Structure 1
Amino acid sequence: MHKVLSVVATVAILLSPVAALAQQSAPPSASAIYLDPTASAEARATDLVSRMTLAEKATQIQHGAPAIPRLGVPGYNWWSEGLHGVARAGEATVFPQAIGMAATWDTDLIHQVANVIGVEFRAKNLEDRAPDGSTRQYRGLTVWSPNVNIFRDPRWGRGQETWGEDPFLTSRFGVAFIEGLQGDDPLHPQAIAAVKHFAVHSGPEAGRHRDDIHPSPRDVTETYLPAFHAAVTEAHAQALMCAYNAIDGAPACANTDYLQRRLRDDWKFDGHVVSDCAAIADFYLPTSHATVPTPEEAVALALKSGTDLICDFMANGTFKPENTVKAVEQGLLPESVLDAAVHRLFVARMRLGTLDPVGTGPWAAITATDYDTPAHRDLALQTARESLVLLKNDGLLPLKAAPRRIAVIGPNANTVEALVGNYNGTPSHPVTVLDGLKARYPDAEISFVEGTGWVAPPLEDIPDLAFCQDAACAAPGLKAEEFAGPDLAGAPVASRTDLNAKFAWGSPVRQERETSIRWTGFLKVAEPGQYRFRYTGANGYRVFVDDVLVADVWDAAWPTSDTAIDLTADRPHAIRVEAIQKGSRASQKLQWSRPGSGAEPAMRSAADADLIVFVGGLTSKFEGEEMVVQAPGFAGGDRTSLDLPAPQQQLLERLHATGKPVILVLANGSAMSVNWADAHLPAIIEAWYPGGQGGQAVAELIAGDFSPSGRLPVTFYKSADDLPPFTDYGMDGRTYRRFQGAPLYPFGHGLSYTRFDYSPLTFDRRDVAAGEGAKVSVEVTNSGSRDGAEVVQLYASRPGPDAPVRSLVGFQRVELKAGETRRLDFDLSALAMSVVDAQGRRSVPAGPLTLWIGGGQPVPSAGGDTPSGSEGRLMIRGSADIPAF
């Protein structure tokens, strides 16, 4: 979504003239159909909409829909986020980021995860409901997840939110997630999934409000739409979010070809469509699409094109219900079109039970405390274990014996940021990699030195003696002002002097307290030169030095990088630190990087160690949504380079030069070109953003407590230079399906601590008439000495100019004990045998179909690892056209 502004939409709307007019009608009788929980959602919505005034209906198509007291309708905020757990609503179970969940290749597990996320949304909703039943932002039951956009290019900062680069894998995970989240009763869903962002959307972030994408018909059919089709027609997602960009000249949220012809007419979608946030404002803003000249015309265009709900911000005119009223009064928008949109929205609310008494309905057993439970954290741990991908292993792992001394080094070794990714909740018991190693090796001497920041020198705590209250430094400390809410608003509720910009909680873990603090004073430095600042809290913060904003992460969902500032030692410098505090996390403090600080402490630690674990990569401070990142290799939340940032790379090479064994653990949301590490280091682990319990999973993998089974859902390229331009949405030269070069690590790659062998393929038939299906089988044997899980992958290849190199058409994750053999069957559909031509038509041509079943593609990684597997061939007689999906 666009940057979150601090708005109280409900209050603003209720105080508006439109809302005032809405209160003039008489209240309904107690026998009104919409008040009857036993009536159908459609009948209830029809009855309710018939009783509403134009002004009232206009307020209900905003994401912050206010209460209608005369009708007994509570307020409802439609905006909730749940990519990998309940996000932005305080403490919740934080699962691995979506790209990490995709690396499990375990749809049954992700179905369980999504079900738990749905339970936690119900719990948060109960915990937060106002006496009249109204619900705040991020506590609703309409979840704007999953993101099934195709991660077509690893430079996209939001790719971490997706299920990877393959349309088939994305489809299977999208279906599993939606079905788990919504539950198995479409008339009474546990929560509603809004699958996003429809359609043809995957960066660059900087131009998304004005870009007009012209995808080829082949790419639309083959790549960009299959996962959306599966989400709607198989999983029956009850909501969909349209994207910012335009497609073939029309903004996605006003594109009737996609929203009407494809979605509603062809796919029979009967849910509601919500705009991405501020996407409707893009219709008329001159710096964006500028499709129409006024907000009224923008609202009218959106609703007539098929968008039902407008997510927006107070700063943009489309947020105002008055514009919708004017659009109707000016003849721009038929009221019947508005009625249809409001009807669809209230069908959703009736199905969710938001107008019904608390404690009724099929989900009544869920309580307000059913979130962040030990059982849910255990599931997050299991998901983290399965998400880890062993990229390289020269035999160092698993460790043969417990090391006596371990040096843990790197910017992601001991930070919660590296666990949670973006669109995240707050883990109450986070386990960093450092924490995990200490717990797993309690008798080892474990040292931790950051050694380097992500893209700059490392940070350290600022000593108390550096602060003073005035420019003369006559008194130590800082003035601290604490505010009741998260926005520094109103008069301080407490004022005091603190020796440092630190904050510690003493409240119970479950307490959901929110406050904000401002520290002001002066800072003395002993060394002149460049300094950087960071506040270690899990929530938003800002740091000003001499009135210059040097660190801005005020909205925790909208991080930006810090800025270096030159300081002198001849005078104190004014400093102001502002921070949001939520929950009960401790150890929140101000840090800096000083001139000359660098790798030497890390090198001293490494010199005394038997093993070095370097935990590097990225965080969502550097890759994410429409950000400002001031560092080489990054642009607008996207990346211009796939390399490990230079400061990390330089330290890693120095650590390797010590001759000590170095394990590289990567925490990141996208592919990285770790070519040097692959050539020189004995072991590399891809941890993604592994969730609240991720550090424990990493430590267990290193120790060999389980055999790794994660597989890459994206290709790791050797360089961004191997790819077409980022702005080019054509799929030629992209992803494993159409990339002609040699990857660093191919899609589907992942090593194990055991070995799996494959029998020759068997078929129920060798000749298949075009349009018919077939069955292929294989026996898989764990021929190693320990138990493990294999991800068995089925790929199909067809000759011809339109066909990809190969396509994933099936997969199964199977647990096998040492020495165990199991037969696996795959149903091969006509769709799996098909190709898509340049006009977007799908057909099954005559000729050979080559199949590969194995633990990955039949492609070696840069290190020479080639998965075991088995190849076979079918012959297809005749040809046949088949449906596109």
Structure 2
Amino acid sequence: MFPDTDNEALTAENARVASDFRDTSLSPEERAELLLKELTLPEKISLMMDVSKPVERLGIKPYNWWNEALHGVARAGLATVFPQPIGMAASFDDSLVYQVFTAVSDEARAKNTHYVSMGSRERYQGLTMWTPTVNIYRDPRWGRGIETYGEDPYLTSRMGVQVVKGLQGTNDGKYDKLYACAKHFAVHSGPEWNRHSFDVENLTPRELYETYLPAFKSLVQEADVKEVMCAYNRFEGEPCCGNKRLLTQILREEWGFDGIVLSDCWAINDFFSENGHKTHKDSASAASAAVLSGTDLECGATFESLTEAARKNLIDEEAVDRSLKRLLKARFALGEMDDPGEVSWTKIPYSVVASPAHDSLALKMARESMTLLLNKDGILPLKRGGLQVAVMGPNAKDSVMMWGNYNGMPARTVTILEGIQSALGKGDRLIYEQGCPWVGETLLESVFSKCRSEKGPGFTAQYWNNVNHEGVADVENQVLTPFNFCTSGATVFAPGVNLTDFSATYRSSYIPEVSGEIVFDLYSFGKGRLTVNGKELLAFHNHHGGNRQSCSMQVVAGKKYDITLDFEYLQSDAQLNFDMGFKRKVDIARSVDAVKEADVVIFVGGISPSLEGEEMGVDLPGFRKGDRLSIELPDVQRKLLAALHDAGKKVILVNCSGSPIGLVPETVTCDAILQAWYPGQQGGTAVADVLFGDYNPAGRLPVTFYRDVNQLPDFEDYSMAGRTYRFMTDKPLFPFGYGLSYTTFRYGTVRLDKTTVADGEKLQVTVPVSNVGNRDGEEVVQLYLHKQNDEQGPVKTLRSFKRVSIPQGQTVDVQFELSGKELEWWDDRSNTVKLSPGTYKLGVGGSSEVEMYSSFTVLE
């Protein structure tokens, strides 16, 4: 069919032609065409996986396609950490999202230039960023909902478009800045525990096109996103990464996408694996089916079987070339193949990384994400001066929680405890009492922060890219916080460390201040041992998933204890969680007594990215593989809040989560509730600014806060009936778009410039909004539509929004222009989303509970 071995040495003529692809005066497409002609089949296939191998005879260097930038450059050391995307969505400020991701792209380019200058081209160092996640957050139990921009197709589209535009930037006249990636295409939102075998079926065309596809379409057609990642699950019987309807018919043919389609990591393996879809008999048939359906790049190594597939006539060279050409074109367009000195983007200085300007931007975004849900009798903002404040809860001084997931490492994190401490005025006093953990009845008073190695605070970590600690360590760094390492979701333990087949040694020393029994807590999937002063204290060897183990020993105050923890990878997803400290049972009465002198208790609770996230290894009560089985606040926190209330304390709940929490009892036991999300490196400052009135909150919920799971359909049901504010008929705890301010806004009469709209026309909507309160503030003005006599359609759906600043006592005319996508609706006659004739109701207000009163007609 065609050769599967390297060509013999190039002739002089071939050498001349081969040099042409290096001609930078040619277009990326022309250069890709020329290079294709010079590659053998094995070379072509080697360039179609995330770890693209070098072709040394042609001077092509290796390239790793995998990089992450969910809310800052991730998993590559130092970077600015912005709020988690669900928190950014709460800002309802797409222009600020654009600024954030412009900063992220500057940092990504600067970091890439730095790595390349050192001859390094590893994972998390490239120019192709696998973000944003624009799946619809259809169910609050989904762990990965924290990576999304909420439950609404329009809000997700607007935010996602600005992410892509900020990341990809502009073309400098010759080279692209970065590539963004829309993921996970297309009908994908949990559960995590069965995503490798789950089939989404019985979805109506309307639900597909009206709910699950709009954000992806907007990113493709408005933002010109360069990459699309297909999902793990099946859709209508076919794995998404081999799904002709999704990848060929919709993405390529209907939308005209000619960019790169890449697989989620090892998703092609699921085609044939015993625990996967089992839709294909072997790797060769799976790899060929993926490419023929439109997947160009694999995260994984199943594409190595394309050679075998070619021998079996399952695929031909033309199909391989079609996919590879897109990949080569991208590498040329990014300047990755060329001299860095010729690429203007390499002039971005490394000093932008974690810069003061980006820190300020992280603070601005954190402030705008703060969402005030409850404020009884105006208890907030707090008044300084002789105030005794107690700070409690498991998230008060947890910096790791604030980073979310898919994160980088900030130069500094302001915890919520630190933010409150800094915000206190003259004569104010702070009491800190953690009180309880996230879940369970046992509290570990960690002493990790008091450990110090020869290299500095924390533990010195050494990593080898082999399983036997052989040779000189490949990577060395300092670990400053309790370990929370896991390769689930393809996250390496540290930049430069293998995902599999690696080993590690962690060393530090601890000198206790008091004598007693110290506890070492481990949760591991792998092999290793814990040694203290040369004596093995604990050995672990877990073949069948993660296992929690602990051990204890008596320590003497003032004595030095040298601690060594060795770890070796075994198989599957490696995991190593480690902390040490003195354990005690939660004593609610003692904790309440400890804060008895406080005028107000700020309880910083909720959950953590350690509990909710992507296919996680930790299964605790109420959680499964990162998903939640219940949406309630964990019981131990609920009990402590109730006890504080019963003791007569004024309680402010700062809830940190990436998902809606059922807070029905807390609306009784708490006097105020501030939803802080996972707010990034400046989250502590932002929270304190709101609590003490230095910033007037204006965040709005991008997801419905349900009362409890009884308001939810079955988790595995992808139908939209009863889901989200768009199709929910029951009353939620807090509705989509909801959030309070320290001032009051009053809406005037909505004015439409016309009552009929024809194809190609625009509808102008104006509403006067007055700030009638006693301070300046921002209002998120939201516009919703509903089509009359559309029984299967949404109750209402967001079609525009503006975050506007309105000074005290002033009125602003807020104007909206509806056209194109804003006016499109499902059309039963054509089975498409288009300008659909009929009568529509329109409502403008401060949440999705707005009254729908104005009306207009779309003409035939």
**Structure 1 length-normalised TM:** 0.84
Distance 1:578 1:441 in 2: 43
1:375 matched to 2:365? The reply is no
1:713 matched to 2:702? The reply is yes
| Equivalent residue letter for 2:177 | Q
* The one of 400, 410, 414 aligned to 2:393: 410
* 3-state SS in 1 of match to 2:265: coil
- RMSD after superposition: 3.7
Which deviates the most, 346-355 or 764-773? 764-773
Q: CA deviation at 1:855?
A: 1.1
Give runs of aligned pairs for residues 29-48 of structure 1, distance below 5 A. 29=16, 32-48=19-35
1:821 matched to 2:806? The reply is no
Task: Identify the residue that residue 857 of structure 2 maps to in structure 1.
Answer: 876
Task: Identify the residue that residue 113 of structure 2 maps to in structure 1.
Answer: 126
* CA distances 1:238-271 after superposition (whole Å, capped 9, x unpaired): 1100000111111100011111111111111111
Distance 1:837 1:369 in 2: 52
| Equivalent residue letter for 2:446 | D
| Equivalent residue letter for 1:56 | E
Distance 2:743 2:481 in 1: 48
Unaligned runs of 5+ in 1: 1-17, 467-479, 495-499, 505-510, 553-559, 581-587, 860-869, 881-885
* The one of 156, 159, 165 aligned to 2:151: 165
Q: CA deviation at 1:767?
A: 3.4
* The one of 294, 318, 331 aligned to 1:336: 318
Task: Identify the residue that residue 218 of structure 2 maps to in structure 1.
Answer: 230
Give runs of aligned pairs for residues 254-653 of structure 1, distance below 5 A. 254-312=242-300, 318=302, 321=304, 323-394=305-376, 395-402=378-385, 404-441=387-424, 443=426, 444-456=428-440, 457-461=442-446, 483=462, 485=464, 490-491=469-470, 516-518=504-506, 533=521, 546-548=538-540, 563=548, 577-578=565-566, 590-592=579-581, 594-599=583-588, 602-653=591-642
* 3-state SS in 2 of match to 1:338: helix
Give runs of aligned pairs for residues 135-284 of structure 1, distance below 5 A. 135-185=121-171, 188-214=175-201, 215-284=203-272
Q: 1:542 to 1:244 in 2, by over 3 A?
A: farther
Q: 1:486 to 1:371 in 2, by over 3 A?
A: farther
Distance 1:124 1:677 in 2: 44
Does the Cα contact within 8 Å between 2:372 and 2:673 map onto a contact in 1?
Answer: yes
* 3-state SS in 2 of match to 1:594: strand
Distance 2:643 2:687 in 1: 23
| Equivalent residue letter for 2:410 | P
* CA distances 1:559-614 after superposition (whole Å, capped 9, x unpaired): x99836587999xxx9973589xxxxxxx994246253544553233112222111
Give runs of aligned pairs for residues 687-836 of structure 1, distance below 5 A. 687-769=676-758, 772-799=761-788, 800-829=790-819, 831-836=821-826
* CA distances 1:21-47 after superposition (whole Å, capped 9, x unpaired): 479546844982321222111011111
* CA distances 1:164-221 after superposition (whole Å, capped 9, x unpaired): 0000000001111101110133963211001100010000011111111112111001
* The one of 65, 71, 76 aligned to 1:78: 65
Does the Cα contact within 8 Å between 1:174 and 1:227 map onto a contact in 2?
Answer: yes
Distance 2:522 2:275 in 1: 33
Task: Identify the residue that residue 473 of structure 1 maps to in structure 2.
Answer: none
* CA distances 1:625-681 after superposition (whole Å, capped 9, x unpaired): 111333221112100100011111111111222222111001110000011111231
| Equivalent residue letter for 2:623 | F
* CA distances 1:693-747 after superposition (whole Å, capped 9, x unpaired): 1111000111101110100000000001211000000000000000111100000
Q: 1:294 to 1:503 in 2, by over 3 A?
A: closer
Distance 2:221 2:235 in 1: 22
Count of matched residue positions in the alignment of Structure 1 and Structure 2:
801
Distance 2:234 2:142 in 1: 18
Distance 2:858 2:37 in 1: 58
| Equivalent residue letter for 1:236 | D
* 3-state SS in 1 of match to 2:180: strand
| Equivalent residue letter for 1:605 | A
Distance 2:272 2:578 in 1: 43
* 3-state SS in 2 of match to 1:240: strand
Does the Cα contact within 8 Å between 1:748 and 1:856 map onto a contact in 2?
Answer: yes
* 3-state SS in 2 of match to 1:439: helix
Q: 1:718 to 1:30 in 2, by over 3 A?
A: same
Distance 1:546 1:877 in 2: 72
Does the Cα contact within 8 Å between 1:796 and 1:832 map onto a contact in 2?
Answer: no
| Equivalent residue letter for 1:415 | D
| Equivalent residue letter for 2:350 | A
1:841 matched to 2:828? The reply is no
| Equivalent residue letter for 1:810 | S
Which deviates the most, 395-404 or 329-338? 395-404
Q: 1:699 to 1:589 in 2, by over 3 A?
A: farther
Q: CA deviation at 1:235?
A: 0.4
**Structure 2 length-normalised TM:** 0.86
Task: Identify the residue that residue 56 of structure 1 maps to in structure 2.
Answer: 43
Distance 2:692 2:446 in 1: 31
Distance 1:541 1:358 in 2: 43
Q: 1:261 to 1:615 in 2, by over 3 A?
A: same
* 3-state SS in 2 of match to 1:775: strand
Q: 1:614 to 1:774 in 2, by over 3 A?
A: same
Does the Cα contact within 8 Å between 1:532 and 1:563 map onto a contact in 2?
Answer: no
Does the Cα contact within 8 Å between 2:416 and 2:687 map onto a contact in 1?
Answer: yes
| Equivalent residue letter for 1:483 | Q
Unaligned runs of 5+ in 2: 452-458, 474-478, 484-493, 498-502, 532-536, 556-561, 569-576
Percent identical pairs in the alignment equals 40
Distance 1:670 1:609 in 2: 30
Distance 1:680 1:428 in 2: 37
Distance 1:159 1:746 in 2: 17
Task: Identify the residue that residue 508 of structure 1 maps to in structure 2.
Answer: none
Does the Cα contact within 8 Å between 2:368 and 2:698 map onto a contact in 1?
Answer: yes
Does the Cα contact within 8 Å between 1:501 and 1:577 map onto a contact in 2?
Answer: no
Q: CA deviation at 1:364?
A: 3.5
Q: 1:703 to 1:762 in 2, by over 3 A?
A: same
| Equivalent residue letter for 2:847 | G
| Equivalent residue letter for 1:183 | G
